[in-house]
Amino acid sequence: MTLQKGPVIVITGTPGTGKSTHAQLLAKESPVPLKHINVGEWVKEKSLYEEYDEEWQSYTVDEDKLLDELEPIIAAGGVILDWHTCGVFPERWPDLVVVLRCNHTLIWERLEKRGYPLKKIQENNEAEIMQVVSEEARASYPTEIVVELRSEETEDLESNISRIVEWIQIWKTDHPGDEA
């Protein structure tokens, strides 16, 4: 088995919780090189979907194609996967799963600013209230690798990145020679 260059971190949460912002900042601040993959964008760029759903204004992902494309990248390590769902990723992949949480009123405002259709805003708002992503993460991965972080203000972003960087420092200590 090849040694990983760095940890595999999944950043997930309801749309509007700040996943991409967190992932981009973490890639810059990480003590080991981390490649940020915005899975939603990747699906579009690499045509890893079955169809486009006009009503929901989203792609129906071909999960098999997606996982086949990601497998060699994950095997190398040093990756941040940024996506609104996480249960599709095999349990063996992530070293850390970060679930971002946000007040549903803020999510509503953020998604409105993005021009999401009302039905999609309502569905995502309900998903946040019902803790759908959090439940999915806890059902899919060992509880010790799942962490829930608040993502409402700039201070939250800074604190969250600092916490994850600390976690990476510990990961480096526990995996000597694994990082690039």
13 is in an annotated binding site: no
Q: How many CB atoms sit inside 10 A of residue 123's CB?
A: 16
Q: Please, are residues 151 and 160 in contact by the beta-carbon 8 Å criterion?
A: yes
DSSP state of 172: H
28 is in an annotated binding site: no
Q: Please, are residues 24 and 36 in contact by the beta-carbon 8 Å criterion?
A: yes
- Cα separation, 82 vs 159, in Å, equals 18
21 is in an annotated binding site: yes
16 is in an annotated binding site: yes
177 is in an annotated binding site: no
> Of 95, 168, 125, 166, which Cα lies nearest the Cα of 15?
125
6 is in an annotated binding site: no
Q: CB-hemisphere CA count at 13 Å for 13?
A: 24
- DSSP three-state, residue 50: strand
Binding residues: 16, 18-21, 114
Binding positions for ATP: 16, 18-21, 114
